Amino acid sequence: MGSVQIVTTILAAAITAVAVWLAVRAVMKMTAVIRLGQPAPERFTDKGARTRTMLVETAGHTRMLKWSVVGAAHWFVMVGFIVLSLLVLEAYFEVVTPTGGLPVVGHWTVFGLATEVIGVLGLVGILVLMAIRLRNRPTRPGGRSRFTGSTMWQGYFVEWIVLLVLIFGFVIRGFKVATDHFEYPLWATPVSHAVGAVLPDWQDGASVAALIKIVISMTWLIVISLNVTMGVAWHRFLAFPNIFFKREPAKPAGSGLGALRPMTSQGKPLDFEEADPEKDQFGVAQVEQFSWKGLLDFSTCTECGRCQSQCPAWNTGKPLSPKLLVLSLRDHAYAKAPYLLAGGGKDLTGEEKATAAQLAHMDVLALAEADKPLIGTAEEGGVIDPDVLWSCTTCGACVEQCPVDIEHVDHIVDMRRYQVLIESSFPSEAGVMLRNLENKGNPWGAPQNTREDWTKGLDFEVPRVGEVDDFEYLFWVGCAGAFEDRAKKTTRAVATLLNEAGVTFAILGEGETCSGDPARRIGNEFVFQMLAQQNVETLNEAFEGREKAKRKIVATCPHCFNTLGNEYGQLGGEFEVVHHTQLLAHLVSTGKLTPVQPVDGGVTYHDPCYLGRHNRVFAPPREVLGTAIEGELTEMPRNSERSFCCGAGGARMWMEEKIGKRINVDRVEEAMSTGAKTVAVGCPFCSTMLNDGVNGKGAGEQVEVVDVASVLLRSVRPEQPQGDKQAAPVAG
Ligand code: SF4
Ligand code: SF4
């Protein structure tokens, strides 16, 4: 060992020792913070599916590749990081001797070739990612950036580190080539040979370059260890467990969508017949009341801003960005952690848990952080502003886009639950809806005895459950479908088409109440459980004696469809629920319904969030329209998984939209930009919102918003297109 190697070895060992010590400390700190969260035993089930999904999502980059260029570039960088970590390890042999290499594999041509290829592709990948970050930098002139609010220096830092590590990998090899100590042939390592051709014949070059590579790598480790909230770096490690522990590992997409998690206390679902707010946790009022998976979610955020770029609230000038919400919760959790780890925290009655002695030497910043209300205005020093919390439509675009499977909607609803159930703090205009749900069983407050008014004037009988012995489908009409004028047209159109196709069905009539979706999404789990339990009982009675496959329900409202199909199981109601567009697509494809006259004038389709993203029903409505319209369906730029919300979900239908541009107007402008004369929908709320948007733009004469079922009915029964215009006046 020469004098240069003695120095390089000592320096490499010293910086590595410091970096490893700091990294171990950082990992222990992160683990301690995540463990502060509430139990989540359900995350440990189904380990086989969890492992498979984690491997598919990480190795296959299935979620990242939805954005193909970024996804491909990131894949090469990820593979580069994993494989080229071996080359960082090899650098430790090279600081000791310039001709050193990894034992065993370090002499294989295959290893030389693989690392050469991955090194080159990694270089290309990181340059692409750097260019994308620069092109989308928040300070660029014009336009909103998905990186707005991200900690930009961290992203640049990580990218430069990757770039330099890759470059120095080739420099080390180049010195070995230049000094004739390189074992791999030219054909396997052409770039290394090319670099070697321009480097001097310096015998110590490889050792010095290896030291620089180690210093760069360890600088990265030191910096991220000193910044445990640096998700852009830590996600390399945290993404694996975060994906492994996601809510429903068997779901290929939208694991955090569809059903909401039940309200839990100490990891157990709460039953309101026994729950006690002094003993049980009602929603989330303190950051440590999220589950440990929630805290892991916050720690894993890469700050990529994909969620932000798709969020309807953010895109229409509201203060909510799912990314910024997650970052605020993360920063708050880590800043408050010293206080919590010292034994601090409030019990459910609001009393301090720690003794004065425990908090005596507490960092004042941690104490100040602990004093912040989780939900509060800037003046109150709140972590999350109420306007942020209530701007969410629960559309799920954030969850859909997140490459590391963060479950934003669950966290938002958990915070809403506390605000509604304990603080009674929510937008006042939604109070009428909640009162109507409690007193009348529907959000409009319409009299229950008008639930069947939509059947009046139909040229066939609509039977009630109990009046007929056998029916294939229970037609769940929904409150909008029963009481709201436009939605009643859809209800009538669906009933007419089912009758035409010879499908036997029955309704619950006055036995039906609201599914509970708006109550649950606003955070009122108590009212949700009350309504849902009543409905589950009614439905179980209606289907008594039938196995699950024969407990078939068809619903026109995607919110009811989602609640009945995905959430009633939490309360003992197991049903086979389909959306009417699915059933109609089946009836058309099996020849039970025959469109005879295509509807013309250009048609576009708006995907309802709770049908599309939340339940992956993208094709059936398009199939129905494909058979019923003239020419091709005109897609809006944002469609299917990336569809843009109408603004009504998450109980926003019953709240005023006071901030920014109206979401429905944004969507209507997009629909109108296609030139289509018909905007087809599959949801009564979307219908209301888009109709309001069209009318607000004074385009009611030129553009019609209408349900897919009505479009099909016009095509199946062209001689009687007014069938859906016979609805009785709106009740209540
Ligand atoms: S659910 Fe929709 S509105 Fe809510 S934060 Fe996510 S993207 Fe935004
Ligand atoms: S998409 Fe996921 S990882 Fe990216 S900023 Fe949003 S929450 Fe963070």
Taking alpha carbons only, the member of 672, 642, 671, 647 closest to residue 660 is: 647
Exposed/middle/buried for residue 257 (C-beta within 10 Å: 0-12, 13-18, 19+) = buried
- Is residue 148 scored above 60 in pLDDT? yes
- Is residue 475 scored above 70 in pLDDT? yes
Q: What is the mean pLDDT of residues 524-539?
A: 96
**Whose CA is closest to atom 4 on ligand 2?**
304
Taking alpha carbons only, the member of 527, 528, 552 closest to residue 476 is: 552
Using CA atoms, how far residue 188 sits from 182, 222, 707, in Å, is 12, 34, 61
- Is residue 727 scored above 60 in pLDDT? no
CA angle 509, 514, 517 (to 5 degrees): 150
Higher-confidence residue of 558 and 71: namely 558
Taking alpha carbons only, the member of 392, 394, 299, 322 closest to residue 35 is: 299
**Whose CA is closest to atom 2 on ligand 1?**
395
Residue 270: CB atoms within 10 Å: 21
> Contact, 416 vs 528, CB < 8 A?
no
Between CA 708 and CA 621 the distance in angstroms is 7
Taking alpha carbons only, the member of 584, 606, 624, 628 closest to residue 683 is: 606
**Whose CA is closest to atom 3 on ligand 1?**
392
Looking at all shown ligands, the one closest to residue 310's CA atom is: 1
Residue of 404, 409, 412, 642 to mutate, ligand 2, most atoms within 8 A of C-beta: 404
Ligand 2 geometric centre to CA of 68 (Å): 17
Between CA 403 and CA 146 the distance in angstroms is 14
Q: What is the mean pLDDT of residues 608-632?
A: 95
pLDDT (tens digit, 9 = 90+) per residue, 684-703? 999 999 999 999 999 989 99
Q: What is the mean pLDDT of residues 703-712?
A: 96
Which pLDDT score, from 0 to 100, does residue 339 have? 96
**Whose CA is closest to atom 1 on ligand 1?**
394
Place of tokens 């009675």: 541
Which pLDDT score, from 0 to 100, does residue 65 have? 65
Lowest mean pLDDT among 138-147, 383-392, 699-708: 138-147
Q: Which two tokens stand for residue 650?
A: 């998450």
Residue of 318, 402, 645 to mutate, ligand 1, most atoms within 8 A of C-beta: 645
Which pLDDT score, from 0 to 100, does residue 732 have? 27
- Is residue 66 scored above 90 in pLDDT? no
Looking at all shown ligands, the one closest to residue 324's CA atom is: 2
Helix, strand, or coil (residue 464): strand
Place of tokens 């003239």: 630
Which pLDDT score, from 0 to 100, does residue 252 have? 63
- Is residue 232 scored above 90 in pLDDT? yes
Confidence band (pLDDT; 50, 70, 90) for 720? low
Ligand 2 geometric centre to CA of 322 (Å): 8
Mean pLDDT (the chain) is 92
Taking alpha carbons only, the member of 91, 79, 100, 84 closest to residue 1 is: 100
Taking alpha carbons only, the member of 298, 271, 293, 295 closest to residue 282 is: 271
Between CA 302 and CA 159 the distance in angstroms is 13
Looking at all shown ligands, the one closest to residue 238's CA atom is: 2
Helix, strand, or coil (residue 730): coil
- DSSP letter for each residue of 116-151: HHHHHHHHHHHHHHHHHHHHT-TTSSSS--TTTTS-
> Contact, 344 vs 368, CB < 8 A?
no
Q: Give the nearest ligand 2 atom to 327 CA.
A: 8
Higher-confidence residue of 32 and 87: namely 32
Between CA 604 and CA 671 the distance in angstroms is 7
- Is residue 570 scored above 70 in pLDDT? yes
Confidence band (pLDDT; 50, 70, 90) for 57? confident
Which pLDDT score, from 0 to 100, does residue 67 have? 66
Residue 635: CB atoms within 10 Å: 15
Which pLDDT score, from 0 to 100, does residue 17 have? 98
Query: Which amino acid appears at position 437 of this protein?
Result: L
- Is residue 139 scored above 90 in pLDDT? no
Burial state string for 280-294 with b = 16 or more CB within 10 A and e = fewer than 16: bbbbbbbbbbbbbbb
Which residues' Cβ are closer than 6 Å to ligand 2?
301-307, 322-323, 326, 401-404, 406
The distance between the two most distant Cα atoms of the chain, rounded to a whole number of Å, is: 99
Q: Give the nearest ligand 2 atom to 303 CA.
A: 5
Exposed/middle/buried for residue 354 (C-beta within 10 Å: 0-12, 13-18, 19+) = middle
Which pLDDT score, from 0 to 100, does residue 729 have? 34
Q: Where are the alpha helices (DSSP H) in 251-321?
A: 292-300, 306-310, 312-315
Determine what percent of the chain is predicted with pLDDT higher than 70.
97
Which residues' Cβ are closer than 6 Å to ligand 1?
310-313, 320, 322, 392-398, 408-409
Q: Which two tokens stand for residue 256?
A: 């955090």
- Is residue 79 scored above 80 in pLDDT? yes
- Is residue 721 scored above 60 in pLDDT? no
Place of tokens 């051709």: 197
H-run or E-run covering 388: helix 386-390
For CA atoms 145, 151, 153, 154, give the dihedral sign: negative
Ligand 2 geometric centre to CA of 301 (Å): 5
> Contact, 690 vs 679, CB < 8 A?
yes
- Is residue 708 scored above 60 in pLDDT? yes
Pairing of strands 552-555, 505-507: unpaired
**Whose CA is closest to atom 6 on ligand 1?**
398
Q: Give the nearest ligand 1 atom to 399 CA.
A: 6
Determine what percent of the chain is predicted with pLDDT higher than 90.
80
Q: Give the nearest ligand 1 atom to 409 CA.
A: 1
Helix, strand, or coil (residue 706): strand
Which pLDDT score, from 0 to 100, does residue 723 have? 43
Residue of 152, 326, 410, 642 to mutate, ligand 2, most atoms within 8 A of C-beta: 326
**Whose CA is closest to atom 7 on ligand 1?**
311
Exposed/middle/buried for residue 572 (C-beta within 10 Å: 0-12, 13-18, 19+) = exposed
Q: Which two tokens stand for residue 279?
A: 């003993």
Taking alpha carbons only, the member of 37, 27, 642 closest to residue 298 is: 37
Higher-confidence residue of 31 and 66: namely 31
**Whose CA is closest to atom 8 on ligand 1?**
311
What is the side-by-side order of every strand in the sheet holding 552-555? 505-507, 473-476, 552-555, 576-579
Confidence band (pLDDT; 50, 70, 90) for 466? confident
- Is residue 330 scored above 80 in pLDDT? yes
Taking alpha carbons only, the member of 67, 258, 136 closest to residue 642 is: 67
Write down the number of H helices and E strands in the chain. Answer: 28, 9
Ligand 2 geometric centre to CA of 291 (Å): 18
- Is residue 728 scored above 80 in pLDDT? no
Q: What is the DSSP letter of 729?
A: P
Residue 35: CB atoms within 10 Å: 11
- Is residue 47 scored above 70 in pLDDT? yes
Confidence band (pLDDT; 50, 70, 90) for 80? confident
